């Protein structure tokens, strides 16, 4: 059952006002509204918890992460029910997302038990070295302290209360203060209950996790500006993320802001692949473009093709495939409204023509497809702005030189894709060095939706895809965001951290 309050260091607290969720159907649920005062309480509790949790063993933290996973699974049916009510996402999607969420908790537990992430290093003393002796030097990664996490609108489980940012911070040894997303407060409530139960079962200091629901911008600002918060994880819009990033940088003591801000994830369809597999690629693109109503940060919104009959056939095949896609419910009324505005902006841009127009109704989205030339793309940078939803833009270039120019014009992306046949290898080789500088993940003959949680995954990229191009918000390397290296010089063995002894 929903509690409807904030979880602050083991206590469920109510504020002075309430808000309701926006269910697709049924009666709205009421939740206590967050305040900066609650953020202050949570941050202070997190700092107090760090003196124990930050110095807990890897084995203890692994047990805790697995316990959270078990407790989330125990509430699985309830989470699915409230999730479908709040977001309109189908049951299968929410069950799969829960599997990903508990899977990454267990993966992170396994990963920290191995200890490799600590990057242990030891340079032994050289007392007789000339002209100067060398001291004994040992290095390891240590947790940074309390971490602020912002829940994402489009992933009520995998990027929210117990999602990747929270899981990686807890794995690193950092207490967490979550700002829950108002798009799915019911899901956040139940997941917080699961974490609270795991804390009690494992004997973890209760300040290790807190969650504040709802609230206006002042609550989010309080999280990133609180002097006890040492880093922030965020998944969301470019505008909101950039505003929080600037606040982090403007603090008297700036802190890292790990923001994943989305991208258009362009696909480059090379000539031979376009000729031989154009229809197949177009159909695959339509499926990826409309998956989850296009509400994925890896939604491939741009397809770059050579002009000519093959390019026209690709556009026609994409149109046919998209025409068969039924309307889908979007996560919130606000997201739906922003999608319509983005559609209108693209449609009104000089040099853009309609390929497929449909009709949307309130919170329901249908796909749109537009086309433009490489010349128009290069002269209008707004065409590269993300439209969060099932909208695609085909960019037709006249030759390889213009295709490279389009690639060079890109801002930072989460992904870029090359669709290629063997005959396209030379062209692919000429594009690859450009795309390596533009994206955190480069695909060959695939579609970027569906981000694997594993050791080698990179979900990040140059700005504005993310605010820190050296980090990832998915996969085991995400833990490294909330660690910093510490060197111990000439330390007695018994004073060293256990992992260095």
Return the active site residues.
260, 297
How many degrees, rounded to 5, is the angle at CA 35 between CA 32 and CA 36? 160
Could you write out the DSSP letters of every residue in 415-462?
EEEEE--GGGHHHHHHHHHHHHTTEEEEEESS-S-S---SSS-----S
Q: Cβ(300)–Cβ(417) under 8 Å?
A: yes
Q: State both tokens at 156.
A: 């009520």
CB atoms within 10 A of CB 33: 20
Q: State both tokens at 195.
A: 């974490």
Q: What are phi and psi of 468, to 5 degrees?
A: -140, 100
How many degrees, rounded to 5, is the angle at CA 100 between CA 97 and CA 104? 145
CA atoms of 343 and 370, how far apart (whole Å): 9
Could you write out the DSSP letters of every residue in 241-266?
HHHHHHHHHHSSS---EEEE------
Q: State both tokens at 61.
A: 């933290």
How far separated are the first and last CA of the chain, in Å rounded? 47
Strands (E), 313-454: 328-329, 353-356, 364-365, 368-373, 391-397, 413-419, 439-444
Q: 67-100 burial string, b = 16+ CB within 10 Å, else e?
A: bbbbbbeebbeebbebbbbbbbbeeebbeebbeb
Q: What are phi and psi of 61, to 5 degrees?
A: -70, -35
CA atoms of 294 and 286, how far apart (whole Å): 10
Q: Cβ(209)–Cβ(195) under 8 Å?
A: yes
Helix (H) or strand (E) holding 343: helix 333-347
Tracing tokens 């700002």 back to the chain, one arrives at 179
Three-state secondary-structure class, residue 278 = helix
With a CB cutoff of 8 Å and minimum separation 6, the contacts of 98 are 72, 73, 76, 79, 80, 157
Q: Cβ(11)–Cβ(38) under 8 Å?
A: no
Mutual orientation of helices 238-250 and 217-225 as an angle, nearest 10°?
40
């Amino acid at each position: 059952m929903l509690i409807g309050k904030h979880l602050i260091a083991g206590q469920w607290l109510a504020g002075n006002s309430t808000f309701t969720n926006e269910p697709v159907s049924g009666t709205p649920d009421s939740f206590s509204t967050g305040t900066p005062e609650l953020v202050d309480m949570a941050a202070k509790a997190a700092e107090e918890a760090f003196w124990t949790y930050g110095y807990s063993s890897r084995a203890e933290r692994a047990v805790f992460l697995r316990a959270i996973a078990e407790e989330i699974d125990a509430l699985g049916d309830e989470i699915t029910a409230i999730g479908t009510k709040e977001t309109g996402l189908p049951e299968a999607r929410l069950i799969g997302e829960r599997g990903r969420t508990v899977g990454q908790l267990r993966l992170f537990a396994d990963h920290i038990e191995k200890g490799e992430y600590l990057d242990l290093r030891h340079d032994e003393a050289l007392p007789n070295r000339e002209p100067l002796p060398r001291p004994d030097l040992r290095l390891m990664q240590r947790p940074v302290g309390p971490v602020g996490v912002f829940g994402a609108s489009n992933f009520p489980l995998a990027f929210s209360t117990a999602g990747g940012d929270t899981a990686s911070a807890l794995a690193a040894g950092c207490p967490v203060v979550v700002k829950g997303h108002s798009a799915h407060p019911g899901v956040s409530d139940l997941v917080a209950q699961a974490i609270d139960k795991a804390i009690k079962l494992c004997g973890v200091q209760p300040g290790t996790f807190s969650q504040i629901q709802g609230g206006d911008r002042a609550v989010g600002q309080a999280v990133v500006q609180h002097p006890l918060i040492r880093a922030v994880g965020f998944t969301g819009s470019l505008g909101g993320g950039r505003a929080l990033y600037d606040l982090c940088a403007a603090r008297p003591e700036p802190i890292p802001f790990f923001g994943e801000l989305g991208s258009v994830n362009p696909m480059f369809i090379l000539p031979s692949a376009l000729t031989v597999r154009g229809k197949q690629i177009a159909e695959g693109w339509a499926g990826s473009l409309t998956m989850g109503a296009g509400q994925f940060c890896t939604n491939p919104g741009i397809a770059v093709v050579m002009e000519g009959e093959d390019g026209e056939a690709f556009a026609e095949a994409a149109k046919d495939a998209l025409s068969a896609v039924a309307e889908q419910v979007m996560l919130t009324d606000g997201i739906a409204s922003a999608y319509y505005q983005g559609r209108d902006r693209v449609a009104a841009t000089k040099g853009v023509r309609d390929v497929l127009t449909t009709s949307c109704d309130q919170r329901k989205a249908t796909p749109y497809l537009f086309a433009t030339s490489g010349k128009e793309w290069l002269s209008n940078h707004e065409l590269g702005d993300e439209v969060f939803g099932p909208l695609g833009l085909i960019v037709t270039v006249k030759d390889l030189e213009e295709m490279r120019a389009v690639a060079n014009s890109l801002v930072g992306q989460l992904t870029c894709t090359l669709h290629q046949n063997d005959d396209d290898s030379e062209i692919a080789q000429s594009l690859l060095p450009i795309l390596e500088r533009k994206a955190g993940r480069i695909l060959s003959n695939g579609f970027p939706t569906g981000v694997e949680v594993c050791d080698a995954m990179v979900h990040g990229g140059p700005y504005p895809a993310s605010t820190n191009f050296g980090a990832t918000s998915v996969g085991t390397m995400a833990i490294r965001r909330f660690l910093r290296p510490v060197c111990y010089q000439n330390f007695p063995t018994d004073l060293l951290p256990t992992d260095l002894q």
